[in-house]
Amino acid sequence: MTRYIVLRVLLAAGVLWAAYTVTFAILYIIPGDPVSAMLAGGLDNGAVSAERLEELRDAYGFNDPLPLQYASHLWAAVQGDLGTSVQTGQPVSTAVGQVLLPTVELSAAALVIALVLGGGIALVATYTHSAWLREALLGIPPVAVSLPTFWIGLLLIQWFSFQWGIFPAMGDDGIRSLVLPALTLGLPISALVAQVLAKSLQEAALDPYVTTTRAKGISRLQVHLGHVLRNATLPSLTMVGLIAGNLLAGSVIVETVFSRPGLGQLTVQAVTLQDLPVVQGVVLFGAVVFIAANLIVDLLLPLADPRVTVGRSYA
Amino acid sequence: MTLAPPPHSRTPQRTFSGSRLRALGAGIGLSTLLALTACGGAGAQSPAADGGGDPVSGGTLRFAVGSDAGCIDPQQVGSNDSIYSTRQLVDSLTDQDPETGEIVPWLAQEWEINDDATEFTFTLQEGVTFSDGTPVDSEAVAANFDRALDLGARAALIGGYLQGYEGTEIVDERTFTVTFAEPSAQFLQATSTHTLGILHPDTVAASDDARCESVIGSGPFVLESYTPNDSISLSAREGYDWGSSLWENQSEPYLDGIEFTVVPESGVRAGSLQSDQVEVIGNIAPQDEAQLQAAEAQLLARTNPGIAFGLRLNHDLEVFADEEVREAISLAINREEIVSTVYTADTPAATSILSSTTPDHADLSEHLGHDPQRAEQLIAEAGYERTDDGGWERDGEPLEFEILWFNNAATNAPTLELIQQQLAAVGIGVSLQEGQVAEWQTHLSEGTFETNWGNITRADPDILRTTYHTDLANSYRLEPSALDDLLLEQAAATDPQERAELVAQAQEHLVTEYLEIPVVDLTTVLAVRAEVHGVRFDSGSRVHLNDVWIEDAEQ
């Protein structure tokens, strides 16, 4: 088991390194440079002399040969120094840390919505005797998955904020301002949850133990919620990593549409302004979240289901 | 992980069209992004005089902007969206009348300029203090100027304003002389800008980055809090009574405070204004205009001073060596059709290389007409011959060029597509190349463009010298000519009449030789709710908010 964990951590480090290297390559090889982007405060300003540009690029180290830049950045990153934002001069870790809380709040709320909505649809669809209702409910997730997040967001704002004035259209000011963004972010994920959970529920319901339990006189509802659901949850657990990724990716759009501060908005801005250190910091953070979520699930699975064991192949 | 900007998609809802979301990619956060232009008239309308009864005090003004530059220091920011807030924190030595371009007293009650515009002596008003009580004196001003040239990369504007700065000599507490190594007539106008707004000596001494987080000024509003990419909160300065001589209210602001919120999506800004979630919004997209008018919002428009939007030619290119060809390009462009199709009818077509609100602008519209037949004639005179596909060719070289552009205004793409069609109608081939904003300065300094589409905002004609003088950056690769002398002479001219004459000659040189092809004057548009009065454009088409009051404001 210990060996398994060590191997998994080493693997995680490898994935992080790969993520870092690929982003570095993409960011530093594409045309344009962050110093110009900073000056493009900018487009509307008078020209800045070529000498001044060179000076600044030197100061930020953008004139060093690529391998040297790569090596020095990687070495600093290993030591926990992700560099400083070209735009604001803030350390990247501070920049990410500052906006983390609003995104965590948003993601948590969206997750709750996704689980309640998605779980509800899956449970009702697999429990009901009405073929019509089942088909209708199971038809919702594929549609919801295909709707663009920003479109859902704009529609929600248009109705609930501009027309009915129930929720604010912008900002990060308490629960009321969290409802619409969380709903926007949670809807597509709830569809994902509903699809996977409904499938495993349907499969689990066919298992022989269901017949046995029913024969013992336990009500259908009790069997459905107490036994079938418990067995069907396991496959859904493996989606946690996927959901974490979806939440991070969705926050980019949701935070922009709802003018919320957060990791998503930081990402958009850093990408637009080619603030390379910040983009790399965000990518690394995303990779860490993704890897951690998957690792935790893998370690938890045996606890949830005694039939699953980890590390046997290594032992 | 999604790291790309949001997808470019169409939405079925009319009020939220795809182009707005498309602007996210290029536009978000990116500042100066010149207001999404395009409506309203040329004049500086001050709604202060629009009636509505006597001003009442109280209330907080909620102002939604499209982006945040990540910095609150007026000396370091150049983006309109950031200037709206940071302008309120500082006073400037002078103010500039947006109607006449005249420089009038603000912190400085009077000034003198020597004959060759190298020495500027200012006398400050008495009794002005920063918000912590420290007096605004000669020493504080000198500290500001001395430090300005050490500011880092963000401060792209201030270097031009203080070019050739030698030092500030303190005569007494309220009198000082600023000295330049070379004539710098533009400096007086520069003192009216937010960029040379006067900051507290402690703020001045802080690091560039620290200044971006918090500043102390002597302005009508005081910074309460700043959360990058989210909000900026200002409160009224108690005891303020040294407002610009152009303002109606020179003492304490009517408002209790101002709350700036960053709202990247233009449709959300418009909807928020309509549903009374904010009172003022910047960066009005053309497609939101009808909706805002229906909601009875006031649309305030002012043409930005400076260099008009136009085609800026790279004179290293063989194809632009013939004046006939350059004139033909200008004649082929139908400016009236462009402004009436892409912009609302009262956005002015360019009438010179300088936009109509720039001081010393000369109306040269007679040289900027539309005559496709004459254009074809000129091309033939330059030695080109018709090809089978309707184009032109000379010595095997086709008559065609590329326009490099940036998505910093929603009107750019439709304007350029129309120009492309208009030039195609006379047989000139044009291809459009969209660039990234981050590449802009590189393209300029390395000359890796054939033509580009852009403008520059500056309420002083000296912008012609910084843009076109061949000893400076000379991004457009002009040959040294008599134009250089004109540009230098205007920089040294202290007599307004004489300077206007020199500036007019310089414009004539640029326009009649078609060294650049001006097309349309950038116009900034703000939307303001009907109950808000007194939003006042300054000469650079940014706003002063000391005159603002809200009807039925809660005390």
Q: What is the pLDDT of residue B20?
A: 36
CA A190 → CA A106, A301, B1, distances in Å?
15, 22, 19
Gyration radius (Cα) of chain A, Å:
24
- Would you call A89 an interface residue with chain B, using a CB distance cutoff of 8 Å? yes
Higher pLDDT, B44 or A229: A229
A278-287, B364-373, B382-391: lowest mean pLDDT where?
A278-287
Has residue A201 got a pLDDT over 70?
yes
Give the number of other CB atoms < 10 A from CB of residue B436.
Answer: 20
Dihedral of the alpha carbons of A10, A15, A19, A22, in degrees to the nearest 10: 100
Stretch A51-57: mean pLDDT: 70
Residue A148 to chain B, least CA–CA distance (Å): 9
Res B82 pLDDT > 50? yes
Rounded Cα–Cα distance for residues B196 and B190 (Å): 7
Cβ contact (<8 Å) for A89 and B212?
Answer: yes
Whether the predicted pLDDT of A128 surpasses 80: yes
Please answer yes or no on whether A273 and B30 come within 8 Å at the CB atom: yes
User: Residue B293 pLDDT > 80, yes or no?
Assistant: yes
Closest residue of chain A to B261, computed from CA coordinates:
A171
For residue B525, pLDDT over 80 is answered with: yes
- What string of H, E and C letters represents the secondary structure of B227-262? ECCCEEEEEECCCCCCCCCCCCCCCCCCCCEEEEEE
Output the six-digit token pair for A197.
């959970």
Which pLDDT tens digit goes with each residue over A83-111?
888 777 788 888 888 889 999 999 999 99
User: A274 at the B interface (CB within 8 A)?
Assistant: yes
CA A223 – CA B133 distance, rounded (Å): 75
pLDDT at B442: 75
- What are the beta bridge partners of residue B537? B543
Least trusted range by pLDDT, from A77-91, B135-149, B422-436, B519-533: A77-91
Of the candidate ranges A49-53, A123-127, A156-160, the one whose mean pLDDT is the lowest = A49-53
Contact B6 A44 (CB under 8 A): no
Contacts of A53 in chain B (CB under 8 A): 441-442, 445
User: For a pLDDT cut of 70, what percent of chain A falls above it?
Assistant: 90
Cα A163–chain centre separation:
31
Does pLDDT of B47 surpass 80?
no
Question: Rounded distance, CA A169 to CA B161, Å?
Answer: 40
State the DSSP H helix or E strand holding residue B405, giving kind and residue range, or none if neither: strand B400-406
B472 touches chain A (CB under 8 A): yes
Q: What is the mean pLDDT of residues A239-245?
A: 84
B264 at A interface, C-beta within 8 A: yes
A 181-200 near B (Cβ less than 8 A) = none
- pLDDT surpasses 60 at A311: no
Q: From the CA atom positions of chain B, what is the Rg in Å?
A: 24
Q: Is the pLDDT of residue B6 over 50?
A: no
CA A8 – CA A301 distance, rounded (Å): 15
Q: How far apart are CA B185 and CA B177, in angstroms?
A: 14
**pLDDT confidence of residue B37:** 29
pLDDT digits (tens, 9 = 90+) for A141-166: 888 888 888 899 999 999 999 888 88
Q: Please, which residues have CB within 8 angstroms of residue B212's CB and are 6 or more apart in sequence?
A: A88, A89, B70, B71, B72, B73, B76, B154
Residue B5 has pLDDT above 70, yes or no: no
Chain B residue with minimum CA distance to A160: B275
B68 to chain A: nearest residue by CA?
A269
Distance from CA of A298 to the nearest CA of B (A): 21
pLDDT at B449 over 80: yes
Residue of A47, A269, A287 with shortest CB distance to B444? A47
Highest mean pLDDT, choosing among B147-151, B208-212, B242-246: B242-246
To the nearest whole number, what is the mean pLDDT of chain A?
83
Q: Model confidence at B447, in pLDDT bands (50, 70, 90)?
A: confident
Q: Which pLDDT score is estimated for B163?
A: 86
State the nearest Cα–Cα gap between B250 and chain A, in angstroms.
Answer: 30
Is residue A207 predicted with pLDDT exceeding 50? yes
Residue B414 near residue B19 (C-beta atoms within 8 A): no
> Tokens in use for A217?
């006189």
Nearest to A154 among B16, B27, B79 (CB): B16
Name every residue whose Cβ is closer than 8 Å to that of residue A201 and which is 6 or more positions away in sequence.
A122, A123, A126, A228, A229, A232
The rounded mean pLDDT for chain B is: 86
For A276, counting Cβ atoms within 10 Å of its Cβ (0-12 exposed, 13-18 middle, 19+ buried), the class is: buried
pTM listed for this prediction: 0.79
Closest listed residue to residue A186, CA positions, set A118, A95, A284: A118
Q: Do A261 and B229 touch (CB under 8 A)?
A: yes
Please check whether residue A180 is in contact with residue A161, taking contact to mean a CB–CB distance below 8 angstroms: yes
Give tens-digit pLDDT for B211-238: 989 999 999 999 999 988 889 999 999 9
Determine the distance in angstroms separating the CA of B389 from the nearest CA of chain A, rounded to an integer: 35
Q: Which of A44, A266, A275, A279 to mutate to test the interface with B (most CBs of B within 10 A)?
A: A44
What is the mean predicted confidence (pLDDT) over A276-291? 88
Q: Is the pLDDT of residue A216 over 60?
A: yes
- Give yes or no for B29 touching A (CB within 8 A): yes
Residue A228 has a pLDDT of: 86
**ipTM, 2 dp:** 0.73
Least Cα separation, residue A211 to chain B (angstroms): 43
List the single residue in A38, A90, A157 with the smallest CB-CB distance to B268: A157
What is the tens place of the pLDDT at every residue in B299-341?
A: 998 998 999 999 999 999 999 999 999 999 999 999 999 998 8
Q: Testing the interface with A: which of B268, B443, B470, B472 to mutate, by most A Cβ within 10 A?
A: B268
